[in-house]
Chains A and B, each alone.
Chain A
Amino acid sequence: MEEEKETRSAPPRFNYKLIKIATLTLLFLAIFFFAGFFGLEATSSSKFCSSCHEMKPEYYTWKASTHSEVDCVNCHIEPGVKNLAEAKAGGVKELYKKQTDTYLAPIQMPKDIPNSACERCHNMDTREVTTSGDLIIPHDKHLAKDIECVQCHSGVAHGKIAERKVTFKSDYGKWDDSLGKSMMSDIKFTSPKMETCMECHEARQVTTECKACHTTSMYPKSHKKADFKDETHGSLAIKDVKKCNECHKYMSKKEIDIFNEKPASMQYLNNGTVKEDDIDANDYAKQNTYCKDCHSTRPASHKKGFGVSHGVLANKNTEMCLTCHDYQNTGRTKNIIVTCNTCHPSTHSNRDWRITHPINVERGRKVTEYCYTCHVKKNCTSCHKE
């Protein structure tokens, strides 16, 4: 019987071929899909991203960040098959750029993380946001105005390393866990910056009052004293004008640049040394429009006939005058009110005119013929003897 069956079940030739082809197709299809699936999984892991050394800074900062449990692709690839395919294709392109060394440095995100990526975890409808410290930030209002999450929270995963210029090729080897941790340790790089808030509020003409965002009034004790406004604030400002600036910079209508670091070119122009600039409270008061608004109203002491009588006062306390007035209008301070040299030409003792002088003049250098190339000889020689 067995023999019989054997002969009977012998298949026709075409059947044999068909089943062979079908099996092989199925096998390869299965292998293809399996490999595809696992390949997709493997190339979606954060470890895979960090296998290129270009990504080391991003990888180690991410590992030290609050988002260390969320893989790269969760934020950097938008949900959806199309986006996934696009991102994978983009990855191949990046591989090519890496091999040919044609990528742009420093590596930056091609486009901002969309809200949808954040909202995969952070549900803004059901979650109440707890802001730190004394801050009030109505997230729902911001969202309603289409403010993107990353407009404020851009530093949350990588501490703004691209902005901080620490992601250059020469440094890739230096990155490890501890460097990542130290780069992420300063809260000023990971949490939203007040400057960002203020810039946006100003641009959109939203209130910039302290109490709009801070629950504590932010009003220092020294400011509560009765004589603060009229008498003591000046001397306090002279002591530490930087402290004033911390809050009052936001109240100025114009940008305050005197605290800005001088560009390297400027720093070395004067005798080739870098000087720690002492910021003068008077200069500050002339730049900050918040100070200036009051300072440019005429004080009670400046009665009629003050033009004649001011000499005595001015001799007693010149600094006091210089709070509002300048000796002369220079490129550095553009004061709209009367300067000393409106009447007393060329008063420049005590002032560091060398800063704005176009040609470097050493200290103690006498007036020479060379000065008269620009200056009027008669005016200078009335005081400066050759």
Chain B
Amino acid sequence: MAIWGKKKHKETDPETREDRKKVGLIRRLWQKFRGIDWKNPVNRWKLLFVSLIGCIVIFGGGYGVIQFTNSPSFCVSCHEMTPEYTTYTASAHNNITCVQCHVKPGFVNMVTHKMKSMKEVYYHVTGVPEQIVQTEEEAISDENCLQCHSKNRLVTASGDLKVNHKGHIEEGVPCISCHAGVVHAKVAGRGINTEEVRGHYTKETAEKIMEKKYLAPNMGTCIDCHDKVNNGEKPWKEVSYLVPPNPEEMEKKLDETNKKTSGEAVTEGEKTEATADGTNAPHDEKTQDIILQAIGKQQKDVKLSMECETCHKKIKVPKNHKVEGWNGNHGSTAIQELDKCVNCHQDSKWIKEIPKEDILSLLKMKETTSKEHKYVPNVTVVKDQSRINQFCSACHGNRPAGHLESDQWLTAHADKAKTADQKSECFVCHDRDKPKEGTTDIKAPTDVYCQYCHRTGFKSDVNN
């Protein structure tokens, strides 16, 4: 009561009232403070009292603020965090907080992070980025994982996998190089956390988004890294290898390549096609090369074998593959059980980059897949698969031994293409008609098509 009593007393004082007219509030307070007689023990006690209250407010308040801003519910109070928050709550890590992973342990790190995050507040007010992607300096360190995951733990890889975690750790491979999707199911890499779809994230949809193939390490990552190691690289040393590609930087790159190609005076449509081709062609070749290594056409003297058995306990070459001449005669089996073929031979499993997705169709598709989709033998599907799938096209593009030299084969192939069955064999690689300009049809692995020579038509009209 003493303080307020005193204040009132002062205010009623005519002298100070005059002061108020002349000087500002702060100065007035300062003057009042100057005027306090420190020799008076009562004033000293008051000072102690006030500073104690001050301390309690500062420390208690500080503690409260820190606790408050550390909680996931604070993170999600900005709507742009919805995809990340929703996936997190549906993940196996939903019992820990955002900051336990995303901020390095330690008080100093925590405070620094809070300061840095002021920037996010600025962005939140001035305009949220189209897509939020982890930057290189935000990559999660092993230190964070090791707060809970003890090194004493034996790792049980799921299924038939053998993953030498100890070996990887000793080499310094960070946890996130494989386990990047464990909480947020790689929503950034899949491109499904953009501004316009943030509203689609609910508790129900989260389950559809959290697919195992994104939560678990994908084989493409293993393969990409193993291949790089075989080439003498250590890709995990680059942080950019560990975080999802930044959309803004990707755009910049695309712009640059576009500028280059636009110099060559091409039409708009062709331009984009050219860039797409330009970026994909070497990539495809690489995938094919790796696939060839995996199926035993092994490069010599590599550090890490690329064969399936390196990582899989149970994968063995099926019995029917061991028959002599399987390479030339697998077609009919493929038609019968293509669904089984792609279990192993699906090429998308072999690529590190994950394709961009569209959340609307993703959610819709999930609804319909409950009706079991079963494969019905279909020659067209198989043919198309053989042309798209890089596993198949790795060989299908090569000239078969039976085709001899082209001058010989030119006249000799008629006997081999008599019946409908025989023709269907040709049509796996060759088209009958000239591929139409600008169609989206799947291209044949060879540019030789029947009509190229047979311009006047065929004896019997069998096509497929």
A276: chain B residues at CB < 8 Å are none
Contact A19 B42 (CB under 8 A): yes
Contacts known (A20-B45, A66-B152); A30 close to B94, Cβ less than 8 A: no
Q: Are B42 and A66 in contact (CB under 8 A)?
A: no
Instruction: Give the number of chain B interface residues (Cβ < 8 Å).
Output: 38
Instruction: Return the CB mask of A220-231 against B: 1 if under 8 Å, else 0.
Output: 000000000000
Partner of A27, one of B1, B37, B52: B52
Contact of A15 with B42 in the complex, beta carbons under 8 Å: yes
How long is the Cα–Cα vector from A382 to B329 in the complex, in angstroms? 83
| Pair B156/A69 contact, Cβ less than 8 Å | no
**Which residues of A sit under 8 angstroms from B95, Cβ to Cβ?**
119-123
Within 8 A of B (CB), among A1-36: 1-2, 5-6, 8-11, 15-16, 18-20, 22-23, 26-27, 30
Q: In the complex where A19-B49, A30-B55 touch, is A68 in contact with B2 (Cβ < 8 A)? A: no
The reply on B77 being an interface residue by CB < 8 A is: no
Residues of A within 8 A of B37 (CB): 5-6, 9
Q: Are the C-beta atoms of A23 and B45 separated by less than 8 Å?
A: yes
Task: Write out the residue numbers on chain A whose beta carbons fall within 8 Å of the beta carbon of B91.
Answer: 126
Bound CA–CA A6/B94 (angstroms): 63
- Say how far B295's CB is from chain A's closest CB, in angstroms: 26
Name the B residues within 8 Å of A132 (CB-CB): 154, 156
Tell me, rounded to whole Å, the shortest Cβ–Cβ distance linking A166 to chain B: 19
Q: Chain A contacts of B6 at CB under 8 A?
A: 9
Q: 1/0 per position for B31-58, CB-CB distance to A under 8 A?
A: 0000101001111011011001101100
Asked if A130 and B158 sit within 8 Å, CB to CB, the answer is yes
For chain B residues 140-154, which have a beta carbon within 8 Å of chain A?
146-150, 152-154
Give min CB distance, A310 to chain B, whole Å. Answer: 50
B311 contacts A by Cβ under 8 Å: no
* A131 → B minimal CB distance (Å): 7
Report A171-210 CB contacts with B as 1/0, cut-off 8 Å: 0000000000000100100000000000000000000000
Do B156 and A26 touch (CB < 8 A)? no
- B90 interface residue (CB < 8 Å to A): yes
- Give chain B residues whose Cβ lies under 8 Å from the Cβ of A120: 95
Chain A residues with Cβ below 8 Å from B108 are none
Interface CB pairs A-B, < 8 A, 18: A2-B35, A15-B1, A16-B45, A18-B2, A19-B49, A23-B45, A27-B48, A30-B52, A30-B56, A65-B152, A66-B153, A68-B150, A69-B146, A69-B147, A121-B96, A121-B148, A122-B95, A123-B95
- B-side residues, CB < 8 A to A, are 1-2, 5-6, 9, 15, 35, 37, 40-43, 45-46, 48-49, 52-53, 55-56, 90-92, 94-96, 146-150, 152-154, 156-158, 212
Interface residues of A (CB under 8 A from B): 1-2, 5-6, 8-11, 15-16, 18-20, 22-23, 26-27, 30, 64-70, 119-123, 126-128, 130-132, 184, 187
Task: Using A9-B43, A130-B157 as known contacts, list a sample of 17 further A-B pairs with CB atoms less than 8 Å apart, ordered by residue number in A.
Answer: A6-B40, A9-B37, A9-B40, A11-B2, A15-B1, A19-B49, A65-B152, A66-B150, A66-B152, A68-B150, A68-B152, A69-B147, A69-B148, A69-B149, A121-B148, A126-B91, A128-B158
